[in-house]
């Protein structure tokens, strides 16, 4: 692969969820380590599956990878980072009065502190003056969250430079000077083309390629100009008489041919669709090696009726039994959440319901998926920039109304903090959740890691609200978290693909939700090849693995399971989406 020729010290792998960022970044890290380099592989994704792929337990400090000399792995865990950050801020307080310490820790309990703490660890790797590693490879969260991460060095550098008081989510200003210098060095490293390369990963799929093109433009705006493209899972039919295989190949070729010009001009590598799951060192070393086929055992696929769950039409029937409610569609990036959310919203409208379809995903694709309008269906998105401006305007109009100009200027200064965006998005999310009291709301959430951070914010707000209301003597309260915990009000739909990693991540997400006392209603397995009739050897090998995952999910992971089979014509547009949920 060309990417392995004179790689820069920092490599960022980003792209739409499910395109293979983790597999490719890990394979590149292993290859560089095998060549004698000292390599650190860093996950910035709260829903990373690196532990499963490498068979090791991820930690918030570098862990050597057995079997790969010179390679270590680090997971930036937001909760661990936040606690460590709180400890460092408290340690720098001039006063160690218990009440002052308690006040600061309380101020640092919000979701924005979690974000800045995780970012602080990320920045420290970029700003390291004494490099321990030849290469640091970042396996990032899906695009929207990654763009937020990569924009923070510039945002926080500017904020701290102009602010001599600090912000509550960061702690007292006296503890921020070390962060300011670190953020400036991190910004310089990111902008230096001799040090940093951003690797855009996409599938041979129109949606993934278009997102990579949009990301490329936004990265240029941030000053990250050293970019390259990897197309992963490029499929070529082995059986030229197999209409299913030929259809998949044709869709891929068409997407590549119609690639936006600016993206097509980037240096590019292509990785063929493999017959194996990228779990374990043997598979990961084979991923980039065209001479190694590493085939799966392709046993004959049995068509057990028990392994053929009901379709989305039956799920829409069940959801429509209620008169209103919140339907949250969640899962790993790239599994088809937006498609499932849009289809279920259309299915409810077909069944006589009024529906608001919205998204919390920074890289929202709802409008492109619908590609049209439908009576009874309202569509929106929680746009972080718009919500932030609305939130700032509201604060200035209310809390700032009676302030002097000097006091108002100080408030505006604090509201310029990047933390404000997290708070604003949460408020918008809470408003949409409350709409489900009188109608149906279908919420297409951001990929798992970002959604969990939003859930953390919901939990933090819940705890703060309960504390404040108890002090005021108020006992009756309904918070957004309480609505999410109510199975009559909220139905959580977990979406996955019939592959080992997406199923494992859906299971992990389900466990995280259960710890928050939120119980998923059903699972949806998307793009299921079983019963397609294909005889292509590559697809048949993948179907063998697929069947194992269906059995795994039905053996106890999901209380209810529904499927959306692989479609020769992708379900894009209201007409095609309507077919998969038709009454």
Alpha-carbon span 196 to 491, nearest angstrom: 43
182 with 247, same domain: the answer is yes
CA distances from 155 to 43, 162, 239, 398 (A): 22, 11, 52, 26
> Using N-to-C axis directions, what is the helix angle for 206-221 and 143-162, rounded to 10°?
10
| Strand residues in 71-208 grouped as ranges (E) | 71-75, 135-139, 166-167, 171-172, 196-203
CB 23 within 8 A of CB 151: no
CATH number for the domain spanning 363: value is: 3.40.50.300
In the listed set 287, 314, 330, which residue is the last one of a domain according to the structure?
287
Alpha-carbon span 216 to 260, nearest angstrom: 11
DSSP state of 61: S
Alpha-carbon span 153 to 119, nearest angstrom: 9
Three-state DSSP class for residue 494: strand
Position 434 in a domain: yes
Position 296 in a domain: no
pTM (2 decimals)? 0.67
20 with 91, same domain: the answer is yes
335 with 265, same domain: the answer is no
Give the count of domains, the chain. Answer: 2
Position 397 in a domain: no
Position 274 in a domain: yes
98 with 134, same domain: the answer is yes
Question: What does each of the 583 residues of the chain score in pLDDT, given as a tens digit?
Answer: 788 989 999 898 988 767 888 899 999 999 999 999 999 998 876 666 788 888 888 887 889 999 999 999 988 776 777 777 777 777 766 666 777 667 666 656 655 566 566 667 777 787 776 678 999 998 876 545 555 555 655 555 555 555 554 444 444 444 455 566 666 777 778 778 898 898 999 999 887 898 889 888 888 887 788 999 999 999 999 888 888 889 889 989 999 999 999 999 999 999 998 888 788 899 899 999 876 544 444 445 454 544 567 899 999 999 999 999 999 998 877 788 899 999 999 999 999 999 999 987 765 678 888 888 899 999 998 888 888 888 888 888 888 888 888 778 777 777 776 667 777 877 888 888 899 999 999 998 875 445 555 555 565 655 665 566 566 665 565 677 788 889 999 999 999 988 887 888 888 888 888 887 889 999 999 988 876 778 888 888 888 888 888 888 988 899 899 999 887 777 889 999 999 999 8
Position 204 in a domain: yes
353 with 249, same domain: the answer is no
Position 411 in a domain: no
In the listed set 287, 318, 336, which residue is the last one of a domain according to the structure?
287
375 with 522, same domain: the answer is yes
275 with 346, same domain: the answer is no
Position 495 in a domain: yes
261 with 195, same domain: the answer is yes
Position 117 in a domain: yes
10 Å Cβ neighbour count for 167?
23
Three-state DSSP class for residue 526: strand
Q: Which domain holds residue 51?
A: 8-287
252 with 155, same domain: the answer is yes
In the listed set 233, 257, 287, which residue is the last one of a domain according to the structure?
287
208 with 336, same domain: the answer is no
275 with 341, same domain: the answer is no
123 with 215, same domain: the answer is yes
Alpha-carbon span 514 to 512, nearest angstrom: 5
Residues marked as catalytic: 18, 20-23, 45, 501
């Amino acid at each position: 692969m060309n990417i392995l020729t004179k790689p820069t010290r920092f490599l960022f792998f980003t792209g739409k969820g499910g395109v293979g960022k983790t597999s490719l970044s890990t394979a590149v890290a292993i290859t560089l380590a095998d060549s004698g380099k000292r390599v650190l592989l860093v996950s910035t994704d709260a829903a990373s599956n690196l532990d499963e792929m490498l068979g090791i337990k991820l930690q918030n400090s570098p862990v050597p990878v057995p079997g790969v000399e010179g390679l270590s792995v680090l997971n930036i865990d937001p909760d661990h980072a936040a606690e460590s950050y709180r400890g460092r801020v408290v340690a720098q307080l001039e006063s160690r009065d218990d009440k002052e310490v308690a006040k600061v820790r309380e101020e640092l309990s919000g979701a924005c502190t979690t974000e800045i703490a995780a970012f602080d660890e990320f920045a420290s790797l970029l700003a390291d003056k004494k490099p321990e590693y030849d290469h640091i490879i970042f396996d990032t969260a899906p695009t929207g969250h990654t763009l937020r991460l990569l924009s923070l060095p510039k945002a926080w550098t500017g904020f701290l430079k102009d602010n001599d008081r600090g912000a509550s989510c960061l702690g007292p200003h006296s503890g921020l000077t070390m962060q300011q210098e670190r953020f400036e060095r991190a910004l310089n490293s990111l902008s230096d083309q001799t040090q940093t390369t951003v690797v855009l990963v996409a599938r041979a799929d129109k949606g993934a390629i278009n997102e990579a093109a949009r990301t490329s433009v936004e990265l240029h705006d941030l000053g990250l100009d050293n970019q390259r493209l990897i197309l992963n899972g490029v499929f070529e039919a082995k059986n030229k008489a197999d209409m299913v295989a030929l259809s998949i190949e044709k869709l891929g070729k068409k997407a590549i041919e119609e690639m936006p010009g600016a993206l097509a001009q980037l240096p590019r590598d292509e990785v063929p669709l493999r017959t194996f799951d990228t779990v374990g060192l043997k598979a990961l070393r084979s991923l980039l090696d065209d001479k190694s086929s590493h085939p799966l055992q392709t046993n004959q696929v049995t068509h057990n009726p028990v392994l053929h769950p009901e379709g989305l039409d039956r799920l829409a029937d069940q959801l429509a039994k209620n008169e209103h409610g919140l339907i949250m569609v969640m899962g790993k990036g790239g599994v088809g959440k937006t498609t499932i959310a849009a289809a279920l919203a259309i299915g409810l409208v077909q069944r006589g319901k009024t529906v608001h379809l919205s998204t919390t995903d920074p890289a929202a694709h709802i409008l492109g998926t619908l590609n049209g309008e439908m009576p009874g269906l309202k569509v929106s998105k929680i746009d972080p920039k718009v919500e932030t401006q609305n939130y700032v305007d509201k604060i200035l109009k209310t809390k700032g109304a009676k302030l002097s100009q000097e006091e108002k200027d100080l408030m505006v200064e604090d509201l310029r903090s990047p933390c404000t965006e997290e708070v604003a998005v949460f408020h918008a999310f809470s408003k949409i959740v409350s709409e489900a009291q009188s109608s149906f709301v279908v919420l297409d959430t951001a990929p798992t890691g970002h959604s969990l951070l939003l859930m953390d914010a919901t939990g933090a707000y819940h705890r703060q609200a309960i504390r404040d209301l108890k002090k005021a003597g108020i006992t009756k309260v309904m918070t957004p978290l309480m609505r999410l915990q109510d199975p009559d009000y909220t139905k959580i739909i977990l979406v996955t693909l019939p592959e080992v990693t997406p199923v494992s991540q859906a299971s992990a997400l389900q466990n995280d939700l259960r710890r928050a006392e939120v119980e998923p209603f059903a699972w949806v397995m998307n793009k299921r090849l079983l019963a397609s009739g294909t005889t292509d050897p590559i697809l048949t090998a993948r179907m063998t693995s697929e069947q194992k995952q269906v059995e795994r999910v039905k053996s106890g992971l999901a209380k209810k399971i529904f499927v959306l089979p692989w479609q020769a014509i992708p379900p894009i547009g209201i007409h095609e989406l309507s077919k998969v949920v038709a009454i």
